[in-house]
Amino acid sequence: METLMDLGQKIISIFEAVMDMNFTSEIIPMLIMWAIGGTLIYLAIAKDMEPTLLLPMGFGTILVNLPLALTEGVISEHGAIEVLYNAGVANELFPLLLFIGIGAMIDFGPLLSNPKLMIFGAAAQFGIFFTLFVSSLFFPINEAASIAIIGAADGPTSIFVASELGSQYIGAIIVAAYSYMALVPIVQPPVIKLLTTKKERRIRMKYEGKAVSKRTRILFPIVVSIIAGVVSPQSAVLIGFLMFGNLIRECGVLDSLSETAQKVLANLVTILLGITVARNMNAASFLKWETALILGLGLVAFIVDTAGGVLFAKLLNLFLPEGKKFNPMIGAAGISAFPMSSRVVHKLGLEADNQNFLLMHATGVNVSGQVASVIAGGMILSFFA
Amino acid sequence: MFNFFLLASAFSGIQFTTENIKEALLCSVAGMVGIFIVVGIIILSVSILNKAGTGKKKDDK
């Protein structure tokens, strides 16, 4: 009976606390965040934009903005989301586990058969460093670096780097990174078209499709991990987990583990990651002018990444003879957003010439962008962590 | 342009500062150079791996 009385008292005190909420400083921000959460869910379901992450994030956004979520609910000290956050995001465990899944999903074959394409993956990271420079005008250098990594066009890398640098804007950074990745088919084409002529978009590239030996496929993840670890130690853990996943895929004796990493592990971590990163989407930390600025800077990063890749290809073409020139559009696929970016380039190639098949070249550049973006993340960490 | 930033800063409360600009610029240049170096080494390694793989096949024949 006493317990029931206590429970009643508790419910009454919560009800009173809710009734005491200030309309302008608490209720309106809460409603705005519900609307943002609803928008993310809408984009995920109706527009199929990165649904695996935007849906959990949208729902999590609503969850962490429920009345008294901060003091009594999901993000209080022992709340479920806070516990998950500390267990998987604050210590960067979830992004690394996700990298094993991503590594197991990637076929580096197109890159291994034409390794020189990897240079475009490097060039397309220019947006990261350009954005670092611009962001430093508005934010402390560590925050600027966290924001710049949106240009990696790679969610786990963004989460890892922003967490490692202790960014207070991690919520906005993750929203920007995943939103723009989903918007690659909208963001990239105008930039590519602006920087290339129709004649350049028509350049055909012969695909030789050289066979890659199994030994090369197995040694590639090991060699890349060693090189990254020696040259850029801060990227060793990121590259290492990505390449570990790829080694499981390519070794040929761990098919069930490879399948588990690609499907079960990746899906499980994505579910937890999506809902957990929403912890930083509470009104107090998200509804700031800085958030709008971060979203703008993220867009700049994606645009400059694309431009960097395209212009670098055009630069190389100046020194190449006719018939050996690159279609400059493939440079844009170095942005890492895999596989959307390579599909965009392929589609634009077909638009300019219906017999211009760029998919394999673009895929090679795209997977190299995945590796290069992780190396860029390591570079950023080596400078600022 | 500078005035626009100052105005926007005053309105939003975001500080516009140029004190980090040198460090950011240096890190940006070093970062891009670093990526090209790492990627260059990886390209070289993959080319060697491919050559070794091709050589092995020829030997097998």
CA distance A189 to A355: 19
- Pick from A212, A223, A379: CB nearest B35: A379
B31 at interface of A, judged by CB pairs closer than 8 A? yes
The residue-averaged pLDDT of A35-45 equals 92
Choose, out of A135, A142, A375, the residue to mutate when testing the contact with B (most B CBs < 10 Å): A375
* pLDDT for the residue numbered B60: 47
| 3-state SS, one letter per residue, for A257-271 | HHHHHHHHHHHHHHH
- Give Rg (Cα) of chain B: 24
- Pick from A210, A223, A231: CB nearest B49: A223
The residue-averaged pLDDT of A270-278 equals 86
Q: Which amino acid is at A204?
A: R
Half-sphere exposure of A210 (CA within 13 A, CB side): 15
pLDDT in tens, B17-49: 888 888 899 999 999 999 999 999 999 998 998
Q: Give the tokens for residue A131.
A: 């954005």
Write B13-22 long-range contacts (CB < 8 A, 24+): B13/A289, B14/A138, B14/A289, B14/A290, B14/A293, B15/A138, B16/A137, B16/A138, B17/A137, B17/A138, B18/A137, B20/A136, B20/A137, B20/A140, B20/A141, B20/A144, B21/A133, B21/A136, B21/A137
The residue-averaged pLDDT of A8-30 equals 73
Q: List helix spans (H) across A114-169.
A: 118-123, 126-135, 141-148, 155-164
Choose, out of A113, A136, A234, A373, the residue to mutate when testing the contact with B (most B CBs < 10 Å): A136
* pLDDT for the residue numbered A260: 94
* pLDDT for the residue numbered A132: 94
Asked if the model's pLDDT at residue A35 lies above 70, the reply is yes
Name the residue ranges covered by the structural domains of chain A.
Answer: 17-384
- Contacts with B30 from chain A: Cβ below 8 Å: 379, 383
Neighbouring CB atoms inside 10 A of B22's CB total: 10
Look at A2-11, A40-49, A272-281 and tell me which has the smallest mean pLDDT.
Answer: A2-11
Nearest C-alpha neighbor of A298 from the set A95, A141, A150, A79: A150
Largest CA distance in chain B: 74
Comparison of pLDDT for A127 and A180, the residue scoring more: A127
Asked if the model's pLDDT at residue B61 lies above 70, the reply is no
CA distance A336 to A365: 8
pLDDT in tens, A159-172: 899 988 988 888 88
- Contacts with B15 from chain A: Cβ below 8 Å: 138
For residues A359 and A138, the answer to whether their CB atoms sit within 8 Å is no
Length of chain A: 385
Comparison of pLDDT for A21 and A365, the residue scoring more: A365
* pLDDT for the residue numbered A339: 82
The DSSP annotation for A55-111 comes to HHHHHHHHHHTSTTTTTTSTTSTT-HHHHHIIIIITTSHHHHHHHHHHHHH---HHH
Do residue A115 and residue B42 have CB atoms under 8 angstroms apart? yes
Average pLDDT, chain A: 87
Asked if the model's pLDDT at residue A18 lies above 70, the reply is no
Chain B residue with CA closest to A381: the answer is: B31
* pLDDT for the residue numbered A70: 60
What percent of chain A is predicted at pLDDT more than 70?
94
Chain B residue with CA closest to A218: the answer is: B49
Do residue B39 and residue A213 have CB atoms under 8 angstroms apart? no
ipTM above 0.90, yes or no: no
* pLDDT for the residue numbered A69: 62
Chain B residue with CA closest to A226: the answer is: B42
Do residue B39 and residue A122 have CB atoms under 8 angstroms apart? yes
Do residue B50 and residue A212 have CB atoms under 8 angstroms apart? yes
Name the residue ranges covered by the structural domains of chain B.
Answer: 21-61
B58 at interface of A, judged by CB pairs closer than 8 A? no
Choose, out of A119, A132, A382, the residue to mutate when testing the contact with B (most B CBs < 10 Å): A132
- Smallest Cα distance from B59 to chain A, Å: 14
- Please state the pTM of the whole predicted model: 0.83
Do residue A227 and residue B43 have CB atoms under 8 angstroms apart? no
For residues A201 and A329, the answer to whether their CB atoms sit within 8 Å is yes
pLDDT in tens, A239-251: 999 999 999 999 9
pLDDT in tens, A54-88: 898 899 889 888 886 665 666 677 788 888 888 88
B21 at interface of A, judged by CB pairs closer than 8 A? yes
- Smallest Cα distance from B6 to chain A, Å: 11
Do residue B31 and residue A383 have CB atoms under 8 angstroms apart? yes
- The number of helix segments (H) and strand segments (E) in chain B equals 2, 0
pLDDT in tens, A113-122: 888 889 999 9
- DSSP state, A209? -
Q: Give the tokens for residue A132.
A: 């670092």
